[in-house]
Amino acid sequence: MNVLLLLAIILFVLMIVIGGRKGARSFISLFLNFLVVMFAVWIMTDPHTNPIILTIIACTIISSINLFYINQVNSKTITAFIATIVTIIILIIFIYIITKKAMIQGFGEEEVDEISIFSLYLGVDFVKVGAAVIIMSTIGAITDVSISITSPMREVFRHHPNISQKDLFFSGLTIGRDILGSNTNTLFFAFIGGYMGLLLWFKDLSYSFGQIANSKVFSAEMITIFCAGIGIALIVPIAAWINAFYLVKRREKANTT
């Protein structure tokens, strides 16, 4: 049996046993998100396509799958979705500027030898592609943090229906602070673990610390980590404020009717 198929079966069984129906939907969402990313990459190769707009559309679809398909449509997923989209729009503008200023788009000198036989004149704006890659790398973490904040906030509101918007907002911030550090470290070790081979290669090439820090490949990965961390930090107050505003306004509307 193919190893990939065997691992997929093991993952599916574990998600069904532990997560039940939600686990099954989570497993299916993995393939749906994969299809969205592959379709976005396929369209992105068209020189007439704007990678930034395409990334926003793809992230919207991915967020919808992760929030509405897995957790269904309710107040916590609606506010988490709105917070995610607002954060993505803010972040993608910031990332585009950083990518352009840092000049990390394209390929590093360590990768040139492998692709030297191919033409690099693709007619694609690699600054926008670089920004799209970074934002695609952060969408999962941002969506996860948003629902991790809105879900317990709804429970706080349910147990304390007369809580003020300000107190509810600060409750969301407290929840966000508890998960901020762990999620940032998760991103860091995920990216560093994926590029452990590159670090070993740098060592074999006897790169100094300055050469490693100024390498385009390494810089691009570190910028991705920092931007993902910024996205996680931004989603905390945005999700907390939107959710607090939504829940309190809905309570006031219910009291007036």
pLDDT tens digits, residue range 143-191? 888 888 888 888 888 888 888 888 889 888 888 887 877 777 777 777 7
Residue with tokens 């999962």: 140
Q: Which pLDDT score is estimated for 109?
A: 61
Q: Which pLDDT score is estimated for 108?
A: 59
Q: Which pLDDT score is estimated for 143?
A: 87
Longest pairwise C-alpha distance within the chain: 72
Q: Which pLDDT score is estimated for 116?
A: 57
Q: Which of the two residues, 180 and 16, has the higher pLDDT score? A: 16
How many angstroms separate the CA atoms of 148 and 94, rounded?
A: 24
- At 180-229, the pLDDT tens digits run 777 777 777 777 776 677 777 777 777 777 777 777 777 777 787 788 88
Q: Which pLDDT score is estimated for 71?
A: 82
Q: How confident is the model at residue 257 (pLDDT cuts 50, 70, 90)?
A: low
- Kindly state the average pLDDT of the residues 130-144: 81
- Could you state, in order of their start, the residue ranges of all structural domains in the chain? 72-256
How many angstroms separate the CA atoms of 228 and 222, rounded?
A: 10
- Give which of 109, 106, 24 is closest to 69, Cα–Cα: 24
Q: Which pLDDT score is estimated for 114?
A: 59
Q: Which pLDDT score is estimated for 117?
A: 59
Residue 80: other Cβ atoms inside 10 A: 31
Q: How confident is the model at residue 241 (pLDDT cuts 50, 70, 90)?
A: very high
- Cα dist. 173→10, 67, 206, 241, 247 in Å? 37, 21, 45, 9, 16
- At 88-105, the pLDDT tens digits run 888 888 887 887 777 666
How many angstroms separate the CA atoms of 164 and 228, rounded?
A: 31
Q: Which of the two residues, 127 and 43, has the higher pLDDT score? A: 43
Q: Which of the two residues, 218 and 36, has the higher pLDDT score? A: 36
Share of the chain above pLDDT 70, in %: 89
Check whether 59 has a pLDDT greater than 70. yes
